[in-house]
Amino acid sequence: MKYSGSCHCGRVKFEVEAPSHLEVEECNCSICSKSGFLHLIVPQSKFSLLQGQDTLTCYQFNTGVAQHTFCRICGIKPFYIPRSNPDGYDVNVRCLDNQPDSITVIPFDGIHWEQNAHNLALKSQEDYAEEQLL
């Protein structure tokens, strides 16, 4: 299923291909908790930025690997490139314009990120993404 999404002001628009039933992670780390991010990690091939590249800015911290992109106008972070999956995109399900048929939320212990990040590594792999679409 193809979903469209955007930031609050609408200057950043994107599409993402994912199943109609989503399994997403809710992380308890400080940045995810404070931003209300609900994680849908997909391969690069399943994500398209339609407009707003020039409106995005990036926040990096800690190791500097994750690229937390957000709209410099409204401040919303609709997606980013995660440290756990630098070959993919992590979309905030709360920024999708059309919501999925159903969502299963899986708690993720991001406070202890180093011990748990390996559980996310396969999500940006093409094989995993194709399996989820079936």
* Percent of the residues in the chain that have a pLDDT greater than 90, as a whole number: 75
For the domain covering 2-121, report its CATH number.
Answer: 2.170.150.70
19 phi and psi angles, rounded to 5 deg: -65, 165
Instruction: Give pTM, 2 decimals.
Output: 0.90
The C-alpha atoms of residue 132 and residue 52 are separated, in whole angstroms, by 28
Task: Tell me the HSE value of 30 on the side-chain side, using a 13 A CA sphere.
Answer: 2
What would the pLDDT profile of 37-68 be if each residue is shown by its tens digit?
Answer: 999 999 999 999 999 999 999 999 988 888 99
The side-by-side arrangement of strands in the sheet containing 88-92 is 79-80, 88-92, 39-43, 21-27, 102-108
The secondary structure of 60-110 as a DSSP string is --TTS-SBEEEETTT----EEB-SS-TTEEEEEGGGBSS--SEEEEEEE--
The structural domains of the chain, with segments of one domain joined by +, span: 2-121
